[in-house]
């Protein structure tokens, strides 16, 4: 089927089923052609909760679809493949979190939104890469536990005086495996480029940044900058969208390995099949969802203040 025919069929199904499609920034660029909203995972889930759609197709990974379901329990949430997982989220489960907490009693737990619903349910508050510093600050605690990303937790600690951030040893392999050598090699090749780095990278790497921020923040900073060339130190999807949207500027992906295979699983055919056959519905146990919703909403309230 030609792409334009596929897009037409998807749009017709969306109208027929009162459905919306959410596309994460790391998705294949073609998904944006039929997406109602695109951006980071929490933004997408919040947009879904605001709409009157009956069906949400989430072009992302499993924890994102879970978050959408938690915030929109009355809506049907579909993930085109249940194998779209997240290596970082998989590094901690409920029992592992409880064991971690037992070693540090009476210390609040900050949970990165890139985690399973059950982990969110056992946490005091969630955060994103964009708001992690403000979330930790809002707790007014000299110590916090941070799960599952040790690199984001380390970055947060570097931004706050007098707060000890005790991190769980999880990480995103895509970001964690980017090295100081990668940065230095690209800087030699592109000395006039700004270095834009995601805080899921190690502290040695973020120390070399001209700008550190979430995918949304990186895109915003690039668009507002007077510079004409950038080294982008995060997943390839960000580079794809910047090249599309800022054709007067040049973008260099930090290395060829900065590609999340789970995020690249979906193509237009998968979205069509998911809508056509209601594949695959994501549900969250209501007891877990209620606790996780509290942690997510507590974070949202921090943002609102």
Q: What is the pLDDT of residues 32-65, one digit of tens each?
A: 999 999 998 878 888 888 989 999 999 999 999 9
Instruction: Supply the pLDDT for residue 170.
Output: 98
Contacts of 266 (CB under 8 A, 6+ apart): 27, 28, 31, 59, 80, 81, 84
Q: What is the pLDDT of residues 141-150, one digit of tens each?
A: 999 999 999 9
Delineate the domains of the chain, giving CATH numbers in brackets. 3-86+263-283 (3.40.50.10800), 89-173+288-304 (3.40.50.10800), 178-253 (3.40.50.10800)
Q: What is the pLDDT of residues 266-282, one digit of tens each?
A: 999 999 999 999 999 99
Alpha carbon separation from 128 to 11, 108, 213, 215 (Å, rounded): 31, 16, 11, 11
Contact 151, 175 (CB under 8 A): yes
Residue with tokens 């769980």: 168
CA dihedral 146, 201, 115, 119 (to 10 degrees): -20
Q: What is the mean pLDDT of residues 82-105?
A: 97
CA dihedral 268, 49, 86, 265 (to 10 degrees): 0
End-to-end CA distance of the chain: 49
State both tokens at 150: 């040790």
State both tokens at 94: 């409920």
Instruction: Supply the pLDDT for residue 303.
Output: 67
Q: What's the pTM value of the predicted model, to 2 decimals?
A: 0.95
Contact 37, 20 (CB under 8 A): yes
* Residue 93: Cβ-neighbour burial (10 angstroms; 0-12, 13-18, 19+): middle
Residue 194 has pLDDT above 60, yes or no: yes
The mean pLDDT of the chain is 96
| Residue 296 three-state SS | helix
Give the pLDDT band (50/70/90) at residue 203. Answer: very high
Contacts of 12 (CB under 8 A, 6+ apart): none
Considering only CA atoms, which of 181, 136, 177 is closest in space to residue 154? 136
């Amino acid at each position: 089927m030609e792409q334009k025919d596929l897009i037409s069929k998807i749009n017709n199904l969306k109208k027929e089923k009162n459905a919306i499609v959410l596309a994460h920034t790391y998705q294949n660029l073609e998904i944006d052609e039929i997406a109602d909203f695109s951006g980071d995972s929490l933004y997408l889930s919040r947009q879904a909760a605001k709409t009157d759609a009956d069906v949400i197709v989430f072009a992302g990974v499993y924890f994102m679809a879970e978050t959408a379901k938690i915030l929109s329990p009355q809506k049907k949430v579909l993930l085109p493949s249940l194998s779209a997982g997240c290596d970082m989220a998989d590094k901690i489960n409920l029992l592992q979190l409880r064991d971690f907490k037992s070693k540090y009693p009476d210390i609040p737990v900050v949970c990165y939104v890139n985690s399973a619903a059950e982990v969110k349910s056992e946490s005091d508050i969630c955060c994103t890469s964009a708001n992690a510093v403000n979330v930790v600050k809002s707790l007014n605690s000299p110590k916090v536990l941070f799960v599952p990303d040790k690199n984001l937790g380390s970055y947060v600690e570097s931004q706050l005086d007098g707060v000890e951030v005790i991190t769980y040893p999880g990480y995103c392999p895509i970001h964690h495996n980017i090295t100081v050598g990668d940065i230095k090699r690209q800087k030699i090749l592109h000395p006039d480029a700004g270095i834009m780095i995601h805080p899921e990278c190690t502290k040695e790497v973020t120390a070399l940044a001209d700008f550190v921020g979430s995918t949304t923040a990186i895109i915003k900073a690039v668009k507002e900058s007077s510079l004409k060339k950038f080294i982008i130190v995060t997943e390839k999807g960000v580079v794809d969208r910047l090249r599309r949207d800022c054709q007067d500027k040049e973008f260099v992906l930090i290395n060829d390995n900065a590609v999340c295979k789970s995020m690249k699983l979906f193509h237009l055919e998968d979205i069509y099949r998911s809508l056509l056959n209601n594949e695959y519905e994501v549900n969250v146990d209501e007891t877990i969802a209620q606790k996780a919703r509290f942690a997510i909403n507590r974070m949202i309230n921090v943002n609102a203040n």
